[in-house]
Structure 1
Amino acid sequence: MGAVNSVRKLTVDSLALLEQLEPNTAELVAKSAVRLRVQQLLQQKWPTCRVLPFGSSESGLGFGGCDVDLGIYFEDVDVDAQGQYLPQERINLLTSACEHLSGVYEVQQFVRNARVPVIKLWDPKQQVAFDVCVGGINALLNTAFLKHFGWMDPRVRPLVFAVKFWAKQRGINDSVNGMLSSYGYTLLLIFYLQSQHAEMQLPMALAHFYNLQSQKKLSVLLEGLQSFPAMDSPSTYGISEMESVGALLAGFFDFFAYRFNMEDEVVSIRMGKAVSKTTKWSHPSSWRLSIEDPFELAHDVGRVIFHRKGQEIIHSEFKRASTLLSKNYRLADICVPDHSSWNIVSSCYICCCKGHVTRRCGQLVRRHSSSVTSTFSDCWYCGDHGHYKAECPMLFFRSIPCLIKAADDYKILAKATSKPKCETISLSLVGIAKAPTSILIPVPSFPKAPWSKLPDAPLIEEEKTCAPQSLYVYVLFLAFVNVKVGTHRRIAD
């Protein structure tokens, strides 16, 4: 009975939060007026221009007071061709747009080096902040899909608001500084609902939106988005107490805290289930979340997590929320800011120092001939710094078949101990030896040092009865993940 009451309270909390955070009618009217006025101004230069809203403000999943995302489209240009504009072409268009808008609105920032260049503006009359970019077809499709998903099930909006508010309060929704974006958390929630509840798959809806993706004319695309037949028939799918907002919210945190295989699987809303990282990506990163964009399939929404510590913080927050909810805590308890956390006591979670944000941390400086500082890891394979992927020690594991098991065992050992010293790892020789066998390799604790300064590796000889060759394998462990593996073979007498 106590668990049921706890779920009911969590449902009530989530619904109350939605009512508190969603924009009111006056704000929606003001944002609509801004969009119309921006379109009128830009049509003075480009008569065939259309300014269309997208993002959370349009999908109904945005908080009150959030920025409005506006995209510039041209009726005489194929939508798919517009999506292929080069960054400099987008910047040139935005520069011209800025000249026409700066007389009416305050230009706060022109972000040229982002994945999608954008102008950030402020309307002092309507008191609305908005962003303007050169739009693409995927932005419209994504927004329409999320809006439809929220419309078809009344549980979705309170769940999204609760998750986004939790991420904001706990300081883990800053994509600029290596955390997951609010959009990323929304995709995680939808994926959880799909994977746990078959009725949330919505295959017909997804098929409809994917068919629209091939449309070239803007007018045909917009007509297809507005005439979707199921938009006028929301359904609750027969909600029971165990499928309430509170139960689903608790299940969401538990799923990504303990049940989702982050190292090997990709979040895929398109498939409605997890897919293998090695199947999806040519260069998978096992150390962080990987999220396939539903419409831009080559885009990994999780790649904004550029440092291991960022991923560790996100995962620890999922576990914290799941633990508290299992103990019947309320929504306010899991969302309360932690005044001892990195985002309160410092501005950088990598070095835990003040004075700079994470993306400007000195530990992120890459070995680069120019003076430009990259905000990404040197090695995308292991997420560590100081070497490129081609030199990553972890790659040696994957290049020698008999060491794949050793690599997996090492991951388990590394999680269990902060610094392995005198442990052993079972090295499977199945597939190389005639008979299945294993040998135990001592794991010494070596300090980090260049390879040339390391002591000679111990050679371990396989029993000659197991294979016609004697296989010598050595494994040198450097701290946590730095590993060098080599093989030596000689023909047996």
Structure 2
Amino acid sequence: MSEDCEITGFSPQQIARWPNVHKQLCGQLELPSISDVSEEVTLNIDEGIQAMLKTEGPNPKHLKARAGLFKHLKRTLEHRFKNATLQQFGSSQSGLSLQAGDLDLCLQFEGPIPAKALKQINRLLKQHDMEDIVMLARAKVPIIKFKDERTKIPVDISINNTLALHNTELLKRYSACDERIRHLVLAVKHWALRRDIGDAASGSFSSYAWTLLAIQALQRTQPPVAPVLQAGNERTMMEVEGTTYDLTMMEVNEAIPTKKNDQSIGELFIDFIFQYATAWPFQDHVISIRSGDHITRKSKRWKYATPRAEKAVTMEKRTRLGQHSLPVEDPFDLNHDLSRVLRPSGAMDIQEEFLKACLAIASGNRWSDIVNAKHPERFTPVEEFDLFADLRQKSAVEVATLVKENTTELEALDERLTALIDERKLNIRMSKRLRGTIEETSDLRKELKSIIRGLRPRSKQMDELQKQRDDINQRIGIPLYRINELMKDVYEQLTGEIDVFQVPSLRREEDQFAWFFELQAMHEQATIAQESHQAFIALLKEQKEAVRALKENEKEQLKHKTELIESEPMLKDLDLNFSDAMQFDKKAHKLMKVIDQRRTEVRRLRREKGRLEAWVRISSNPNPRGHARKGNKSGGKKRTKSGSADWKPRNNGPRPEDVQKRAAEGGTLSLSDLDVLLNSGGFKSVTKGQTTAKSTRRQERKKKANARNLTPHRGARSQSKKGRKD
């Protein structure tokens, strides 16, 4: 006897997985009213969300790690693809990201996308030790997912996902309208992530879809917390990737609600849960933040296709969920339903979690119970990693030995890598040269093939003609000209006038007629033999011409090969064919794989070298920056005005007065002294400064006389500028 439910068809395992949905389908579930929620529960949820925002929201350390990872990827990818730009979008840019959120990046190409771009990105990521790389090349927007080895930050890189940049800007503006919008979105994402209904790859809603659900709930509160940013009469139409979209977005200051909603974040989260759990709008409506409220399926022409989730999960074969099961409209791409990624079990999980959270809140459960991890092993906290754990117990000598060994190994690996790169370049060059020569001689080779193709059948035809001619000549034995002469003689004998006295006998005439007929037959065969001979001669001439052309062709090809060998001696023993070129290509491809491995080893050794050198610096500096010695706030020598502990006056060269004095005294002058002397007026400055002893005494006597003369007297007349001596 089957244990499946007669009403729903659920198995016991399915009933255990979705108990509340099963009860609701059976008409046995009575949902509570939001008025039944106590203030204590609301306060606890509010406090829990506030605490979660501090612990799970992005912190400076996390943001710095994301910024560093983005900078590294941007430098790597833009260096590889010269016509591309790497940009951030998604929750990390809109401010709606948790610490566990993805880093969404978009690689925008100017012009055509390079062939196998995803594979090239995949190869680059492997070279840089990224983990869990998954390519989704057949998706609507090609994407590659991976995780950074060091920070463990999950990253999604999409190709030419231009519309997502506009979606990010829209959500960024919503986030700026009211702080509670951002807080509720993060709380909803946290709840969905912990309850395992926030991963599109697993058949549930994506993080972006949960963001739209949260904003829609805030647009439906009374009064609304979130405005409708896509309203207005003036529309902004723009073409993106060949399709025209309505990208209208109001500015934040234009969208402030007239009535203020004073609900706390705890109340808003409870309202979000009850809106979807009790009303379940997906039955007849579509989530649409563009409209500010639910819109009908009929207006979108999004029929609730079968099979529905509750039926699909009971089918024996794995069944795809019907279209538009839990419809969520993209705000710009109005034909895009975000529920298309849902699987039957994922849709059932979403409904079950809404019902479970609603009942838990009404029952007075705390925030920690509501967001209790469905799979706790996935949320194991990452322990702090000590980068120098293995070095702390080692002596300075041991660390120095490790540095030396690392340097030696790195130098050897660098040399090996350089040799491999050179070898690969050589193989590529050989392949290109060989292919180039093959292409240059392609006409010659085609001509050669044509000549060779003609030689064999012509030779066969010549043999046939020769055999036919020789067979006839062997049977007849009389040349054609002699047959003609004999036929003429016999004909004259048979048709000419006959002497009545020499009438041939009947027997003789019969023999002559027989001979004539035989000559006729021989003439026909001899004619064929002659024609065969003439055809043979003509073919022989053609064959000789072909052989001569063949030799000329081979000579020309030999010339090209000689030139190739002179430029590339390694190609001496090779033929001019594509198989040899392919061998070089295969070898270059194999070398590329080895080079990638060696580059990975080089990066590992360089990181290790940096780690060792950092430890040497740290361990050799007992007083790192910021930890001053006792009695000296600066932590070192007393610093002077210049800011240096060992400051000394700057040496600006000899002083001009010292040089002039030395020159006046007849001392020796260096080149620098001469330079100073010339810059300070030359030798005139020396002679100008010299005074004789006699003139000095005269000046002193004059000063004394002037000092004794105390009577008034006229001063020295001043000279005009015109009369003043230079």
The TM-score bracket by the shorter chain reads 0.5 to 0.7
Q: Quick one: distance in 1 between partners of 2:128 and 2:260?
A: 50
Q: Quick one: distance in 2 between partners of 1:108 and 1:91?
A: 23
Q: Quick one: distance in 2 between partners of 1:179 and 1:128?
A: 21
Instruction: Evaluate the alpha carbon distance shift between residue 127 and residue 175 of structure 1 in structure 2; reply closer, same or farther with a 3 A threshold.
Output: closer
Q: Is the 8 A contact 1:194 1:272 kept in 2?
A: yes
Q: Is the 8 A contact 1:91 1:117 kept in 2?
A: no
Q: Quick one: distance in 1 between partners of 2:146 and 2:349?
A: 32
Q: Is the 8 A contact 1:189 1:252 kept in 2?
A: yes
Instruction: Evaluate the alpha carbon distance shift between residue 131 and residue 312 of structure 1 in structure 2; reply closer, same or farther with a 3 A threshold.
Output: closer
Instruction: Evaluate the alpha carbon distance shift between residue 300 and residue 101 of structure 1 in structure 2; reply closer, same or farther with a 3 A threshold.
Output: same
Instruction: Evaluate the alpha carbon distance shift between residue 205 and residue 109 of structure 1 in structure 2; reply closer, same or farther with a 3 A threshold.
Output: same
- Comparing 280-289 with 266-275, greater Cα deviation is found at 280-289
Residues 196-345 of structure 1: pairs in structure 2 closer than 5 A: 196-197=221-222, 199-200=224-225, 202-204=227-229, 211=236, 213-214=238-239, 230=252, 238-240=260-262, 243-285=263-305, 287=308, 288-307=325-344, 309-337=345-373
| Secondary structure of 1:119's aligned partner | strand
Residue deviations 1:424-476 (CA, integer Å, cap 9, x gap) = xxxxxxxxxxxxxxxxxxxxxxxxxxxxxxxxxxxxxxxxxxxxxxxxxxxxx
| Secondary structure of 2:283's aligned partner | coil
Q: Is the 8 A contact 1:110 1:119 kept in 2?
A: yes
Q: Does 1:116 align with 2:141?
A: yes
Residue deviations 1:93-120 (CA, integer Å, cap 9, x gap) = 2223334444334253232344433223
Q: Quick one: distance in 2 between partners of 1:310 and 1:318?
A: 13
Q: Is the 8 A contact 1:210 1:295 kept in 2?
A: no
- Comparing 129-138 with 151-160, greater Cα deviation is found at 129-138
Residue deviations 1:237-294 (CA, integer Å, cap 9, x gap) = 7442xx1111111111111111243211111111111111132135433743111111
Q: Is the 8 A contact 2:330 2:337 kept in 1?
A: yes
Offset of 1:91 from its aligned partner? Answer: 7.6
Aligned to 2:415: none
Q: Quick one: distance in 1 between partners of 2:355 and 2:288?
A: 22
* Residues matched between the structures, number: 321
Instruction: Evaluate the alpha carbon distance shift between residue 43 and residue 167 of structure 1 in structure 2; reply closer, same or farther with a 3 A threshold.
Output: closer
Q: Match for 1:319: what amino acid?
A: L
| Secondary structure of 1:268's aligned partner | coil
Instruction: Evaluate the alpha carbon distance shift between residue 237 and residue 327 of structure 1 in structure 2; reply closer, same or farther with a 3 A threshold.
Output: farther
Q: Quick one: distance in 2 between partners of 1:146 and 1:69?
A: 14
Instruction: Evaluate the alpha carbon distance shift between residue 204 and residue 272 of structure 1 in structure 2; reply closer, same or farther with a 3 A threshold.
Output: closer
Q: Quick one: distance in 2 between partners of 1:235 and 1:23?
A: 28
Q: Quick one: distance in 1 between partners of 2:299 and 2:208?
A: 24
Q: Quick one: distance in 1 between partners of 2:179 and 2:91?
A: 16
Offset of 1:209 from its aligned partner? Answer: 12
Offset of 1:18 from its aligned partner? Answer: 1.1
Instruction: Evaluate the alpha carbon distance shift between residue 56 and residue 208 of structure 1 in structure 2; reply closer, same or farther with a 3 A threshold.
Output: farther
Q: Quick one: distance in 2 between partners of 1:203 and 1:266?
A: 16
Aligned to 2:130: 106
Q: Does 1:57 align with 2:81?
A: no
Q: Match for 1:296: what amino acid?
A: D
Q: Quick one: distance in 2 between partners of 1:43 and 1:168?
A: 33
Residue deviations 1:352-399 (CA, integer Å, cap 9, x gap) = xxxxxxxxxxxxxxxxxxxxxxxxxxxxxxxxxxxxxxxxxxxxxxxx
Q: Quick one: distance in 2 between partners of 1:338 and 1:130?
A: 24
Q: Quick one: distance in 1 between partners of 2:226 and 2:97?
A: 23
Q: Match for 1:153: what amino acid?
A: D
Aligned to 2:189: 164
Structure with the greater alpha carbon radius of gyration: 2
Aligned to 2:458: none
| Secondary structure of 1:291's aligned partner | coil
Q: Percent identity?
A: 27
Instruction: Evaluate the alpha carbon distance shift between residue 115 and residue 151 of structure 1 in structure 2; reply closer, same or farther with a 3 A threshold.
Output: same
Q: Quick one: distance in 1 between partners of 2:368 and 2:258?
A: 26
Offset of 1:59 from its aligned partner? Answer: 1.9
Q: Match for 1:248: what amino acid?
A: L
Aligned to 1:389: none
Q: Is the 8 A contact 2:185 2:214 kept in 1?
A: yes
> Which of 84, 90, 95 does residue 119 from structure 2 map onto?
95
Instruction: Evaluate the alpha carbon distance shift between residue 277 and residue 269 of structure 1 in structure 2; reply closer, same or farther with a 3 A threshold.
Output: same
Q: Is the 8 A contact 1:154 1:235 kept in 2?
A: no
Is the helix fraction higher in 1 or 2? 2
Instruction: Evaluate the alpha carbon distance shift between residue 92 and residue 235 of structure 1 in structure 2; reply closer, same or farther with a 3 A threshold.
Output: farther
Q: Quick one: distance in 2 between partners of 1:332 and 1:265?
A: 32
Offset of 1:60 from its aligned partner? Answer: 1.8
Instruction: Evaluate the alpha carbon distance shift between residue 237 and residue 300 of structure 1 in structure 2; reply closer, same or farther with a 3 A threshold.
Output: same
- Comparing 146-155 with 170-179, greater Cα deviation is found at 170-179
- Comparing 295-304 with 123-132, greater Cα deviation is found at 123-132
- Comparing 138-147 with 249-258, greater Cα deviation is found at 138-147
Offset of 1:310 from its aligned partner? Answer: 3.4
Q: Quick one: distance in 2 between partners of 1:126 and 1:234?
A: 39
| Secondary structure of 1:193's aligned partner | helix
> Which of 1, 8, 23 does residue 58 from structure 2 map onto?
23
> Which of 108, 116, 120 does residue 73 from structure 1 map onto?
108
Q: Is the 8 A contact 1:141 1:213 kept in 2?
A: no
Q: Match for 1:138: what amino acid?
A: L
Aligned to 1:154: 179
Q: Quick one: distance in 2 between partners of 1:158 and 1:208?
A: 30
Q: Match for 2:370: what amino acid?
A: I
Instruction: Evaluate the alpha carbon distance shift between residue 233 and residue 47 of structure 1 in structure 2; reply closer, same or farther with a 3 A threshold.
Output: farther
Q: Quick one: distance in 1 between partners of 2:350 and 2:284?
A: 17
Q: Does 1:3 align with 2:38?
A: yes
Q: Match for 1:297: what amino acid?
A: L
| Secondary structure of 2:304's aligned partner | coil
- Comparing 177-186 with 293-302, greater Cα deviation is found at 177-186
Q: Match for 2:133: what amino acid?
A: Q
Q: Is the 8 A contact 1:14 1:245 kept in 2?
A: yes
Is the strand fraction higher in 1 or 2? 1
Offset of 1:139 from its aligned partner? Answer: 0.8
Q: How well do the aligned residues superpose, as a CA RMSD in angstroms?
A: 3.7
Q: Match for 2:65: what amino acid?
A: A
| Secondary structure of 1:324's aligned partner | helix
Q: Does 1:185 align with 2:210?
A: yes
Q: Match for 2:297: what amino acid?
A: K
Q: Match for 2:335: what amino acid?
A: A
Q: Match for 1:181: what amino acid?
A: S
Q: Is the 8 A contact 1:54 1:139 kept in 2?
A: yes
